Amino acid sequence: MSRPSDFQRVIISLFLVLLGLVLAVSPLPMLPRSLGILLLSYAAFSWGGITLAYLVALLVPPAGLLTGNPDWLVMLPLILSSGLLAMAGLEYAWRYPAILISPLLYIVPQLFVWLVSYQPLFVINLPWEPSARTWISLHGLAALFAMLLLIYLERFKERREHQPVSARSGRQSRNP
């Protein structure tokens, strides 16, 4: 199997963006929509690089406003800031440090809002579904899972590139 051509990368990238848009406007609860956009952002990085990952993380969530759900509007700044920080952590700490940095940066805005919302000056009742702890922990675990999968796929691609073509096809190479 050879590396995907540029045309195949464009098609897969377009598919990921469209899948993210469909997910953002779908009539699902907020938690699965947000988790899906998070996972698609990391998948976009795997296929199309950091530019596509930023595109999915920052331009797909506002499409959820088309549903008219006021809860999505309230959570949108939190989803956008989390996605931006996670992709920045992915870009600048790529490889092994990104395993911890990107998921941590994803949940930092959420933890901050959750903790500050208990202060009298910043009392706000956000529509965390089902609870803030569940929301934050699921997003952190999903980001960690996506990072581990990205590292695994990257290492798999590198090993495939360094193998001889005959070893990849399963045939014995003949040395004259």
Between 168 and 56, residue with greater pLDDT: 56
In percent, the amount of the chain with pLDDT more than 90 equals 41
The answer on pLDDT for 173 being more than 80 is no
C-alpha to C-alpha distance for 54 and 73, rounded to whole angstroms? 20
Nearest to 77 by CA among 32, 129, 112, 52: 112
Q: pLDDT band at residue 85, thresholds of 50, 70 and 90?
A: very high
Rounded mean pLDDT, 104-118: 92
Report the first-to-last Cα separation within the chain, whole angstroms: 25
Reply yes or no on whether the pLDDT at 112 is more than 50. Answer: yes
d(CA 5, CA 145): 27
Amino acid at the residue 121: L
Higher local confidence (pLDDT), 32 or 121: 32
Q: What global pTM score does this model have?
A: 0.82
The domain defined by 6-161 folds into Arp2/3 complex 21 kDa subunit ARPC3 (1.10.1760)
Band (pLDDT 50/70/90 cuts) for residue 176 is very low
Q: From CA 9, how far away is CA 77, in angstroms rounded?
A: 30
130 backbone dihedrals φ, ψ, rounded to 5°? -80, -25
On whether the CB atoms of residues 47 and 13 are closer than 8 A, the answer is: yes
Return d(Cα 75, Cα 42) in angstroms, integer.
20
Contact (CB, 8 A) for 108 and 139: no
Q: Which of 137-141, 146-150, 160-164, 172-176 has the lowest mean pLDDT?
A: 172-176
Q: What is the mean pLDDT of the chain?
A: 85
Mean local confidence (pLDDT), 39-53: 88
